[in-house]
Amino acid sequence: MTPHPQRQRRGDIRREQIIDQALKSFADNGYRNSSIAGIAERCGLSQTGLLHYFPNKAALLSAVLEYRDQLDYNRLQFDQPPRGKQALRRLAQLVDHNMHVPGLIRLFTVVTSEAVTTDHPAHEWVVNRYRTLEDFLAKALSDGIEDGDFRPDIDTKGLARQIFAMMDGLQLQWLLDPDRLDMAALFHDYIDELITLLETTSPPT
């Protein structure tokens, strides 16, 4: 039987509320130190009421990570992948945006750190996320070589890993001491210098 549209909408709103509160809990406390009971309390629900929407904590974490994936997918425009310099500029714009959503950045940093152990429910998500992003950026760098914008001797896979390592390292330092580190400005400078190094011919000085 198809749910009544109004009831379905109320259910969707409640699911969104639970995902939002779970995101905040996982970001503040980590996955292992968050509880279904605590997240339910944040939502004004009983534990049984929350479990009506998500059968366990791992399913809730999966929903939170899917939500974050969709945000990244939209911002990086995977459906219209940029090429060469445009892809690097797009990453710099993403870092600009990330400074306005510290909760999402904290979630990613905390969950990624926890997920180095293979028994963590987010382990596979983290591994696949890095592989997907590295493939995305390596392809964009290869396109830049094909377009004649970048030198042909670039190790695109290795460089993609270095760029994401820079992003993640800056994010961690920014979360620890945001008042003393302008993450966006530093990453923009890094991208500007990198593009100059990758170009087939250096611009005149």
Per-residue pLDDT of 9-53, as tens digits, reads 887 889 999 998 998 888 888 888 999 999 999 999 999 999 999
Q: What's the token pair of residue 162?
A: 């270095």
Query: What residue ranges of the chain are covered by domains with CATH 1.10.357.10?
Result: 77-205
What pLDDT is recorded for position 3? 57
> Percent of the chain scored above 90 by pLDDT?
57
1-58 placed in CATH 1.10.3720.10? no
What pLDDT is recorded for position 196? 96
CATH code, residues 77-205: 1.10.357.10
What pLDDT is recorded for position 4? 58
Residue 2 has pLDDT above 60, yes or no: no
- The model's pLDDT over 59-97, given as tens digits with 9 standing for 90+, comes to 898 888 888 878 777 776 666 788 999 999 999 998 998
- The model's pLDDT over 119-172, given as tens digits with 9 standing for 90+, comes to 999 999 899 989 989 999 999 999 999 999 999 999 999 999 999 999 999 999
Q: What is the 3-state secondary structure (H, E, C) of the chain?
A: CCCCHHHHHHHHHHHHHHHHHHHHHHHHHCCCCCCHHHHHHHHCCCHHHHHCCCCCHHHHHHHHHHHHHHHHHHHHCCCCCCCHHHHHHHHHHHHHHHCCCHHHHHHHHHHHHHCCCCCCCCHHHHHHHHHHHHHHHHHHHHHHHHCCCECCCCCHHHHHHHHHHHHHHHHHHHHHCHHHCCHHHHHHHHHHHHHHHHECCCCCC
Residue 192 has pLDDT above 90, yes or no: yes
What pLDDT is recorded for position 204? 46
Q: What's the token pair of residue 173?
A: 């330092």
pLDDT bracket for residue 205 (50, 70, 90): very low
Query: What residue ranges of the chain are covered by domains with CATH 1.10.10.60?
Result: 1-58
